[in-house]
Amino acid sequence: MKRPNRSARSAALVGDETSPLLACTPASWVEAAAERIPELLVDHANCEKKAASTALALIFAYPEDRALAVALSKLAREELKHFEQVDRLMRELEVPFVRQKPGRYAAELRRCLHSREPRRKLDLLLVSALIEARSCERFDLLAERLPTTVAGLYAGLRESEARHFERYLRFAESELPGEAWRPRLEELAAVEAELATTPDRDFRFHSGPPSGAR
Ligand SMILES: [Fe+2]
Ligand SMILES: [Fe+2]
């Protein structure tokens, strides 16, 4: 797999054989995050809720896939626990909840989804794997850069998100065994890498570096 835009720092996942990610988060995004912790936490809390709701939506969309339903039921509960952890930290740090416009990352990835089955199910699993993997990579980077109050939480969440992306990938693999899922993963991963690394109008947990950041 070609790995464009790889920075000198070897982030935990990019470059790893098991990682679906094609590009490291730019250092300018990490620096923006360190300067904008309240915004980061608000969006992160939203991401955890969204991760739980995505898992539930998949359970409803594919009820006949009972192995998927049971795995995602557990995953959704973990995501809601993460939400509660972030909410607790926001209260400790006196970060108010502020409504934010949805960012471009999830919207653009959603535009790539096939509309027809069985391709749609494969795409949903692969996109979920990519989002979880990006979360995992960013938790790792932020755990090194942010103050200990936030870094401690992020170091702990990293492990869960690693399990989540692996789980989604295994289910994708079982949809199209024999490596046939991999070319589609590479197509979606190229879009994801672009979204995570190119200048973005809004700063979000999964955004590119905010426009104006150097
Ligand atoms: Fe999570
Ligand atoms: Fe997750």
Q: What is the structure's pLDDT at 213? A: 57
What is the model's pTM? 0.92
For residue 191, pLDDT over 70 is answered with yes
Identify the weakest region by mean pLDDT among 1-10, 25-34, 76-85, 117-126.
1-10
SS3 37: helix
User: Which ligand number lies closest to the CA of residue 49?
Assistant: 1
pLDDT top residue among 212 and 49: 49
Distance (Å) from CA 115 to ligand 1 centroid: 27
When the pLDDT of each residue in the chain is averaged and rounded to a whole number, the result is 92
User: Which ligand number lies closest to the CA of residue 134?
Assistant: 2
For residue 9, pLDDT over 80 is answered with no
Distance (Å) from CA 132 to ligand 1 centroid: 8
pLDDT top residue among 25 and 3: 25
What tokens were used for 73?
Answer: 């039921």
Q: What is the structure's pLDDT at 18? A: 78
Contact (Cβ atoms closer than 8 angstroms) between residue 26 and residue 11: no
- Rg over alpha carbons for the chain, rounded to the nearest Å, is 17
As residues whose CB is below 5 A from the ion ligand 2, the structure lists 51, 132, 161, 164
Distance (Å) from CA 60 to ligand 2 centroid: 18
Distance (Å) from CA 83 to ligand 1 centroid: 7
Q: How far is CA 67 from the centre of its chain?
A: 22
Q: Is 94 exposed, middle or buried (0-12, 13-18, 19+ CB in 10 A)?
A: exposed
Q: What is the structure's pLDDT at 16? A: 75
Distance (Å) from CA 154 to ligand 1 centroid: 10
How far is residue 22's CA from residue 4's CA, in Å, rounded to a whole number? Answer: 6
For residue 132, pLDDT over 80 is answered with yes
Identify the weakest region by mean pLDDT among 5-9, 12-16, 155-159.
5-9
Distance (Å) from CA 196 to ligand 1 centroid: 18
User: Which ligand number lies closest to the CA of residue 166?
Assistant: 2
Distance (Å) from CA 119 to ligand 1 centroid: 26
Q: What is the per-residue DSSP string for 178-193?
A: TTTTHHHHHHHHHHHH
Distance (Å) from CA 128 to ligand 1 centroid: 12
Q: What is the structure's pLDDT at 13? A: 65
CA torsion sign, 45 to 108 to 127 to 21?
A: negative
Contact (Cβ atoms closer than 8 angstroms) between residue 188 and residue 123: yes
Candidates 151, 153, 149, 130; CA nearest to 141 is 151
For residue 1, pLDDT over 90 is answered with no
pLDDT top residue among 117 and 16: 117
User: Which ligand number lies closest to the CA of residue 44?
Assistant: 1
Return the amino acid letter for 137: E
